[in-house]
Chains A and B, each alone.
Chain A
Amino acid sequence: MNVHAHFVAQLHGARPIADPAASDALVDVEDMTVTFRSRERVVHAVNGVSFSLRRGEVLGILGESGSGKSVTLRALMRLLPDHAQVGGKVVVAGHDVARLDESRLEDVRGRAISMIFQEPMTALDPVFTIGEQIAETVRRHEGCDRRTAEARALDLLDMVQIPSARRRLKAYPHEMSGGMRQRAMIALALSCRPSVLLADEPTTALDVTVQIQVLLLLRKLQKELGMAVIFVTHDVGAAIEVSDRLAVMYAGRFVETGTAIDMIETPRHPYTNGLLDSMLSGDKRGQRLETIPGAPPSLGQAPAGCSFAPRCRFAATSCTLALPEPTAFSPTHTARCFRMDTKAERFAMLADA
């Protein structure tokens, strides 16, 4: 615990934080698009996503598999295959990520922005020890000697509450449990004190009990280190648990954004509503679980209308003709849907029934 407090103190001391009044946005994304072009086909994975994130804020991105949430996350550090094209404005921690040359980008990755991957077993190099993998990152960005880097690795393992950390430094990924590995991955991601942390389904591969521990740890570290975090998940409960703001993603767009409370109490988009209904919870015992019929559309071409229309209970002809623009309901809450009027009534009816 003391080591941990020490690390936090060191963090605040070592890097003077930019004047918060000057520019609040650590992440500033406007109309970001990601297109994969290969000889056979074109995939429009992200179709105009905009958001900004301040220091210390947590944005949760919710969506099904294939909705473009992981691609959005990776685009923020341009960690995409060569045939991917990123468009729009992507500024993260003061760096224009979309336009940086490769060498400058390498300096930013792992230092100002870092990422926690979904599967710690496959995202850690199997033939290097945990300590080596953390220390090499520290040495890469801070140019310190091996001993200093190893000492930092030890502090980091203590910080993520790995028991007998000194011994674990010499362990290989396969010698640790799933939860331990994900803690080690978190330590690795935090090793150079990033100001923006991207978490790509960090708990999906873990046992339920371990999931909660890891979520609580992430939340705690985020508060202590004051990072901006983008947390991608398909687990509605986890997203609500850790996020200040939520964005629901569908077919490469944010269909609804708002605070967790906005989303739970007054979901505006039928898709958000469907996601919430498909969640398991105690008060729905004995009822049939709601599902969203159908599957997400293929992203071969950008659709003319609302992407969700084919699966939507409330879809009208207008939905398939034009793309609904974001409508604001409150300073924090927006949704892209034409059928908000009828929906509010229908949701009220459904709630009464």
Chain B
Amino acid sequence: MLVYALVRILYTIPILLGVSLIAFGLIHLVPGNPLDLLLPPEAPKELVDQIKAKYGFDQPLYIQYFTWLGRVAVGDLGNSVFTGEPVREQLISALSNTLVLAIPAAVLGFALGIFLGAVAGFNRDTWIDKLASAIAITGVSMPHYWGAIVSVILFSVILNWLPATGMGPSGGLPQSWEDVTHMILPVATLSLIPMGVISRLVRATVLEINGQEFTAALRGKGLRRKRIIYHVLKNAAPPAMALMGLQFGYLLGGSILVETVYNWPGSGQLMNLAIFRRDIPVLQATVVVLSFFFVLINLSVDVLQAAIDPRIRR
């Protein structure tokens, strides 16, 4: 088990290097550069060269890559070309804003998804199954931005129960009830997709496991229904965890649509802005840091899966 975990951790190193290389390369493949936006077209060539040199844009690409990688390794993510401010601070602020939504959205979506999926699977073809499946499919197929706008119209404009947009007055981690009311709509919107996909997967997995001989054998041993459900859910856990890892990764990237509708300054907005401004340092850093978290989450999922299902360890 320990060996397995160590091997998995070592695997992440080449993955992260590859991700950084791709992130770096893709951004430089895209036409346009920040200087075109930053400087007037009639800027003197000396000034252009000077600024190019300042950001290292005059160097060959591979030199730029290694210089950048060396800085990233020691935690220096560079400065924004557009604002001149350190990328690190922007990124930390945007990511923590996103996390404030992503964590409760994940908890809510996963819990509801597992519950609905299990209930549907264990009550196959009954009205319970049909109701749970209808909820799940609605969650998956409703476009985020549409759901977001409709819920703003319903809960903020018509009913006037919840604030329409923006973070609460504390502007960071929620510290008052008012902060929490600002989170409710975006969290609910973000939890819909994880809820839907996880409940579909859990339902299918429960059905598949219920069809296997060993569940008949568990009944044959005289186990109570509760205990049999526990056996089935433990068997269903590894694939569900893999999907949850991916879904949480997506949530960390922030949703540009949801963050735009609710005007929430998270990582989605940061990336969106950086793309339009061709703010290469911000974009590179965001992509790499998000990938790092993504890889980290999937690493933990791998290790957890192996802890539950010993067949994965080999």
Residues of A contacting B214 with CB < 8 Å? 122-126
Residues of A contacting B14 with CB < 8 Å? none
Task: Establish whether residues A117 and B310, one from each chain, have CB atoms under 8 Å apart when the complex forms.
Answer: no
Which residues of chain B in 259-314 are interfacial with respect to chain A, using CB atoms and an 8 Å cutoff? 308-311
Q: In the bound complex, how far is the Cα of B213 from the Cα of A119, in angstroms? A: 8
Known A-B contacts A127-B234, A140-B227; the reply to A122 vs B213 at CB < 8 A is: yes
Flag whether B241 is at the interface (Cβ < 8 A). no
Number of interface residues of B (CB under 8 A): 20
Flag whether B212 is at the interface (Cβ < 8 A). yes
- Interface size for chain A: under 10, 10 to 19, 20 to 34, or 35 or more residues? 20 to 34
Which residues of chain B in 202-223 are interfacial with respect to chain A, using CB atoms and an 8 Å cutoff? 212-214, 216-223
Flag whether A109 is at the interface (Cβ < 8 A). yes
Residues of B contacting A119 with CB < 8 Å? 213
Residues of A contacting B222 with CB < 8 Å? 106-111, 137, 140-141
Residues of B contacting A137 with CB < 8 Å? 221-223
Task: Establish whether residues B309 and A127, one from each chain, have CB atoms under 8 Å apart when the complex forms.
Answer: yes
Residues of A contacting B218 with CB < 8 Å? 125
Residues of A contacting B217 with CB < 8 Å? 115, 117, 123-125
Contact with B along A249-270 (1 / 0, CB 8 A): 0000000000000000000000
Q: In the bound complex, how far is the Cα of B313 from the Cα of A175, in angstroms? A: 12
Task: Establish whether residues A125 and B221, one from each chain, have CB atoms under 8 Å apart when the complex forms.
Answer: no
**Interface residue from B216, B235, B309, B310 paired with A79 (Cβ < 8 Å):** B216
Task: Establish whether residues A123 and B308, one from each chain, have CB atoms under 8 Å apart when the complex forms.
Answer: no
- Closest residue of B by beta carbon distance from A137: B221
From residue A56, how far is it (CB to closest CB) to chain B in Å?
A: 22
Flag whether A243 is at the interface (Cβ < 8 A). no
Residues of B contacting A124 with CB < 8 Å? 214, 217
From residue A70, how far is it (CB to closest CB) to chain B in Å?
A: 11
Which residues of chain A in 129-149 are interfacial with respect to chain B, using CB atoms and an 8 Å cutoff? 136-137, 140-141
Flag whether A233 is at the interface (Cβ < 8 A). no
Known A-B contacts A110-B221, A136-B227, A140-B223; the reply to A127 vs B235 at CB < 8 A is: yes
Residue in B212, B219, B220, B311 with the greatest tally of chain A CB atoms within 10 Å: B220
Which residues of chain B in 177-221 are interfacial with respect to chain A, using CB atoms and an 8 Å cutoff? 212-214, 216-221
Q: In the bound complex, how far is the Cα of B223 from the Cα of A140, in angstroms? A: 7
Flag whether A114 is at the interface (Cβ < 8 A). yes
From residue A112, how far is it (CB to closest CB) to chain B in Å?
A: 9
From residue B222, how far is it (CB to closest CB) to chain A in Å?
A: 3
Residues of A contacting B308 with CB < 8 Å? 127
Task: Establish whether residues B213 and A115, one from each chain, have CB atoms under 8 Å apart when the complex forms.
Answer: no
Flag whether B231 is at the interface (Cβ < 8 A). yes
Task: Establish whether residues A109 and B219, one from each chain, have CB atoms under 8 Å apart when the complex forms.
Answer: yes
Flag whether A188 is at the interface (Cβ < 8 A). yes
Residues of B contacting A152 with CB < 8 Å? none
Task: Establish whether residues B223 and A106, one from each chain, have CB atoms under 8 Å apart when the complex forms.
Answer: yes
Flag whether B45 is at the interface (Cβ < 8 A). no
Residues of A contacting B227 with CB < 8 Å? 136, 140
- Closest residue of A by beta carbon distance from B232: A125
Residues of A contacting B223 with CB < 8 Å? 106, 110, 136-137, 140
Known A-B contacts A127-B235, A128-B231; the reply to A77 vs B310 at CB < 8 A is: no
Task: Establish whether residues B220 and A140, one from each chain, have CB atoms under 8 Å apart when the complex forms.
Answer: no
**Interface residue from A122, A127, A175, A188 paired with B221 (Cβ < 8 Å):** A188
Flag whether A7 is at the interface (Cβ < 8 A). no
- Closest residue of B by beta carbon distance from A133: B221
Flag whether A172 is at the interface (Cβ < 8 A). yes
Residues of B contacting A174 with CB < 8 Å? 310-311
- Closest residue of B by beta carbon distance from A112: B222
From residue A22, how far is it (CB to closest CB) to chain B in Å?
A: 26
Known A-B contacts A127-B309, A128-B231, A174-B311; the reply to A106 vs B220 at CB < 8 A is: no
Flag whether B224 is at the interface (Cβ < 8 A). yes
From residue B47, how far is it (CB to closest CB) to chain A in Å?
A: 66
From residue A114, how far is it (CB to closest CB) to chain B in Å?
A: 7
From residue A162, how far is it (CB to closest CB) to chain B in Å?
A: 19
Residues of B contacting A136 with CB < 8 Å? 221, 223, 227
Residues of A contacting B234 with CB < 8 Å? 127-128
Q: In the bound complex, how far is the Cα of B222 from the Cα of A126, in angstroms? A: 18
Task: Establish whether residues A123 and B213, one from each chain, have CB atoms under 8 Å apart when the complex forms.
Answer: yes
Q: In the bound complex, how far is the Cα of B224 from the Cα of A109, in angstroms? A: 11
Residues of B contacting A127 with CB < 8 Å? 234-235, 308-310
Task: Establish whether residues B221 and A126, one from each chain, have CB atoms under 8 Å apart when the complex forms.
Answer: no
Known A-B contacts A122-B212, A125-B231, A126-B235; the reply to A140 vs B311 at CB < 8 A is: no
Residues of A contacting B219 with CB < 8 Å? 79, 106, 109
Q: In the bound complex, how far is the Cα of B228 from the Cα of A136, in angstroms? A: 11
Q: In the bound complex, how far is the Cα of B311 from the Cα of A175, in angstroms? A: 9
Q: In the bound complex, how far is the Cα of B310 from the Cα of A122, in angstroms? A: 15
Task: Establish whether residues B224 and A140, one from each chain, have CB atoms under 8 Å apart when the complex forms.
Answer: yes
Given contacts A106-B223, A172-B311, 10 further A-B contacts (CB under 8 A): A109-B219, A115-B217, A117-B213, A117-B216, A122-B212, A123-B214, A124-B214, A126-B235, A140-B224, A174-B311
Q: Across the A-B interface, give the 3 residue pairs with the lowest CB-CB distance, nearest first.
A: A110-B222, A109-B222, A110-B221
Can you report 24 A-B residue pairs in the complex whose CB atoms are below 8 A from each other?
A106-B222, A106-B223, A109-B221, A110-B220, A110-B223, A111-B222, A114-B221, A117-B216, A117-B217, A122-B213, A122-B214, A123-B216, A123-B217, A124-B217, A125-B218, A126-B214, A126-B235, A140-B221, A140-B222, A140-B224, A140-B227, A172-B310, A172-B311, A174-B311
